[in-house]
Amino acid sequence: MIAVIQRVKQASVTIDNTLKSSIVQGLLVLLGIAHEDTQEDSEWLTKKIINLRIFSDNEGKMNLSLKDINGDLLVVSQFTLHASTKKGNRPSFIDAARPDQAIPMYEQFVKLSEVELGKKVFTGEFGADMQVQLLNDGPVTIIIDTKNKN
CATH number of 51's domain: 3.50.80.10
Percentage of the chain surpassing pLDDT 90? 90
Band of pLDDT at residue 58, cut at 50, 70 and 90:
very high
- Does the residue 16 lie in any domain? yes
- Cβ partners under 8 Å of residue 46, min gap 6: 109, 112, 113, 116
Instruction: Kindly indicate the confidence band of residue 88, based on its pLDDT and cuts at 50, 70 and 90.
Output: confident
Q: For 21-30, what is each residue's pLDDT tens digit?
A: 999 999 999 9
Per-residue pLDDT, averaged over 102-131, amounts to: 96
Q: Is residue 27 part of a domain?
A: yes
Helix (H) or strand (E) holding 68: helix 66-69
User: Is 100 a residue whose pLDDT tops 90?
Assistant: yes
Number of domain units in the chain:
1
Q: Band of the pLDDT at 6, cuts 50, 70, 90?
A: very high
Query: Between the CA of residue 120 and those of 26, 50, 70, 90, 95, what are the distances in Å?
Result: 13, 13, 11, 37, 30
Asked if residue 72 belongs to a domain, the reply is yes
Residues in CB range of 92: below 8 A, 6 or more apart: 83, 84, 85, 86
Please give the positions annotated as active site.
78-80
| Residue 61 resides in a domain | yes
- Answer yes or no: is 11 within a domain: yes
Q: 3, 113 in Cβ contact below 8 A?
A: no
What is the Cα 39 distance to its own chain's centre?
16
CB distance 70 to 120 below 8 Å:
no
Tell me whether residue 83 is in a domain.
yes
Residue 85 domain-assigned? Answer: yes
User: Is 149's pLDDT higher than 90?
Assistant: no
% of the chain with per-residue pLDDT over 70: 99
Within-domain flag for 150? no
Query: The domain containing residue 37 runs over which residues?
Result: 2-145
